[in-house]
Every structure is written in structure tokens, then in C-alpha cells.
Structure 1
Amino acid sequence: MPEFRGWKRLKRVLPVLNRQAGWWVDPPELRDGIPIGSLVAPLRYDVMLRLEFFKWYQEHRDDYSDLTDLVAAAQQTSYYSWFVFSDCVRRARGRLLQDESLLRKAFAERVQRSAALFDSVFSSGYRKNTSIILKTGEHLHRPSTYRGCPSGKLVSGRYFLADGCHRLALLMRLGLTVLPHGYYRVRCFREFSPFDSTALLVRSGTVPTARYFKFLSRRYTVPHIFPDVSSFVDFIRNCRPHLLDEVRSILQVDGYWDDGTTL
């Protein structure tokens, strides 16, 4: 029997395919839902920027007569900063960043879709037929930024937000603190590294200090909310010392740790 010539190449490709192939799971521990704070913090500050946009849009949507004016105003908000650092820009390999007209067009389309989603939900209610996608892995690697570069954070969570970020932000705007079972699906992989948008956004100067620590509080100090490093760290040290190593690694990566910060 003649030897299959592509066998050596297939042996190289199969491990990659096995890592990328996923399957749907329904973890019993999530049957009562999953706290939204644990899906957002500490890795997905981009969801908070979406939430800020929806708040801004709700307050100002009647102030602008057409889409052009709305987009021009939105370009002055943190939502535009998020867009520049978002996947859709990076996946274009910098093409949008090199052409201002393309960037403005893409942002206008994003604003139009987000506004339409908001209007639909607030006029007809939230439809859960389009699930929010979470991901997990049999072997979880440390979080990574673009192109798989590890961010270095130590995170204890097992389920991570993957798709449906605008819808999750809208649910937060509606006041939900727990994502109900039936609103999401979970896809498991052999190996998985969750995406860390927070590290990128912090480096860009998009995240004010007070908002950053209120954001972390959603996961680590709930129901208490702290606006600064001192009060946040003091609470962790005194009330939740089992989180010390995790919090230290997060603050170090995001640049909020210095010699004066002690845990």
C-alpha cells in the first residue's frame, strides 16, 4: 500500500486542530446563572466601555437629528477609544488605522448597529434566542492579549466571555447582576487562553483610576465598591486574603502596583 505523502504534515496539523476544536457543555455549577461581575472583571474592561456608550446613547439619542451627528459626538467618547483597540480594527491588520476615512466608516457602522440594538431591546425587550457565548478549557492558560501574547495575570475563573459583549452590556444597563441560565452557551476547548482587553486599554490611557478599581470591585470585593488602590487593597488583605496572589498579579500587569503598595 503506497504511503500517504501528507502524513507528516497531518501529524503536525492534528494537534493544532485538536486544540482549536471545541464542544458545547452545560456545567451543572452554572445552572443558577453566573455573576456578571465574574465575566467582566478583571479581563474585559471593554464591556464597561460598551456600557458607558449605552448610558450615553440613552441620555443623548434625542439630541442628534441624524446618524452623522450622532457618530461625530460618539467619536468624542470612550467608545471610540474602545473601537480603535477592538478586534475588528486589529483583525484588519492596521488597515483601518492607516486610513482615517475607512476607520470613520467602520465606526459609523458600529455605532449604527449598537444604537439599533439598544432601540430594539428598549422597545421590544431582550431576546435571549441569540446566546452570549462563554468559553472554557480542560487546560486553561494565563490570559493573553492580541496574537496570543500572555498578559501575565493570574486569574482563578474558569468561564470567560467570548461573544455577545454588547448584549451583556445591555443586560447590565437593564440592571442584571447575574446572567441567567438560558441566556448563554458554554464552549469548551482542550486548551484555552482568555482574552485580556483590560491590559491593553489601561496602557492606552482609556481607564480612569477610580473606574478601574470600581470595575475590579465587581468581582473581588462585591458588594463593596472601592474607588482607589488603598481601600481596595486594604479590603483584600483584611477580608479576602485568599485572593492576595491573584490581585497582586493583576495590579502588577495593569501598572497599579508600586513599591508603596503592600499586600
Structure 2
Amino acid sequence: MATLLSQPHGEAIGYSFTQPTSVPNKEHSFYPYTDNGGSTLGITGSNFAILAGDTRSVAGYNINSRYVPKVFKIGGDDETGEGAHILLSVVGFAADGQALKERLDAVVKMYKYQHGKSMSVGACAQRLSTILYQKRFFPYYVHAILAGLDEDGRGALYSYDPVGSYEREQCRAAGSAASLIMPFLDNQVNFKNQYIPGSGEGHALEPKRADPLSRETVEELVRDAFTSAVERHIEVGDGLQMMVITSGGIEEIYYPLKKD
């Protein structure tokens, strides 16, 4: 008691819980996203479009599953996707990808029920952009690619960023190995920096035109792209899921990839 009374005048007694300590304050937070790895790519032709993706799902250095599809049929009549005429690939956070796929699928089906006709791939591309933009403050953590046939029967491919910006392209890669696959596609599909031999003198050569490739050539390029990617990237592998959309419908093809 005498000690308490002997405190210097005006000096507070140290009973406050706000006194500084040697342990720093810790901020408690929740991060809702994770990257489940994998890669996808799309290539169009004169009368077809192909979307493909590997089937590995990872979390860091752990493999969650060796068969998680990343390419889906949109607007089908039942769970098998029969009657679908649009393809969607999603890579990034698998839960967001599944949610986005189900929402777009419901929109396309509702359009058909209300209007008595199928939604065009161009209209679906715009609708997907709107869906992504509506979630721009808490976005779907995915890179989406949409494919189908346009009104003229030509292959159409649309690539997106997570908040809805999109453009129509002839080819696009997304996901973990995009930086490995996209330069290959630029060279083999877009013919970037390729010239016709003997078309001029010195550097005045005529560039090669990026004409649509045949289906057989595109399927071979897709296999080569993923075979190369699995050699260099641990988040890509196990299986290659390829879907080809033509005027006759959608065909699904599966190829095994490296599992190590």
C-alpha cells in the first residue's frame, strides 16, 4: 500500500492492458482463394473449334486429384451435356470455375426455354463477360475461354480475364503453363515472325498468313503443347481432355499424360 501511495504525482499506475509488450499484434484474416493449377488452351479452324485442358488438380506441392476436368459443355439437355453447342474451359480456383460453369449453363438453358432457340456463341460470350463483371469486387478467380461456331459456321474463340474483359482470338492458352504454351501457339498457329522463303530480298520478306489450320494439324499441336508443358511444369499432367465442336456436335477425346 505504501508503494502505491509513493508513486510520483501525475504518473499513472501500470495496470492498463494496452501497455506495449514484446509480442507484436497479429492480424487475423481469411484469404478465400487458392490456385489449383493446370492449364487450358483453345484453337479455332474454318469449321471447328477445340478446347483442351489437363486433368491434374493441385494445392501447392500436393496433388488433390488426377482427374478433374477443366473443359465443359454448356447448354446441354441433361447431365451428359447432350445437345450442347458451346464449350467453356476454366482454370485457376476450381470451386470458382465450377460455380461459373453452372451459372453460365443455367443462363444458356433459360434462354432456350424462354426464346425457343439456342443462344449464339457471340451472345453467350457477351453474357459471360457480364457475369464476370458483376462479380468484379469479389471476382471469380479463374481464366475462362469460351468456344463454339459462329453464325457462318466458323470456329469462334473468346478469352477472358477474371473481371470480364474479353476478345475473340484464333488461339489462346491459360493457366499455370500458359507462359510455356502461348509462345508455341504464336509460332505454330499465328505464324508470328514467320516469312515466306524467297518472297523478297534481305529483310523485305512477305510474312506468312495466319490461315486456319486443319483439324488433324490442330489436334497434333494440342498434344505436342501439353506433352511439352508436362516436362517443365509440375502443376500440369496426368491426362489431356480435348473437346472438338463441329456442326455435327461435340466430340470428347482423352489422352494420358505423364503422372510424375
* TM-score bin, normalised by smaller chain: under 0.3
**TM-score, normalization by structure 1:** 0.28
Task: State the TM-score, normalizing by the size of structure 2.
Answer: 0.28
Say which one has the larger Rg: 2
Structure possessing the higher relative contact order (Cα contacts under 8 Å, 6 or more residues apart) = 1
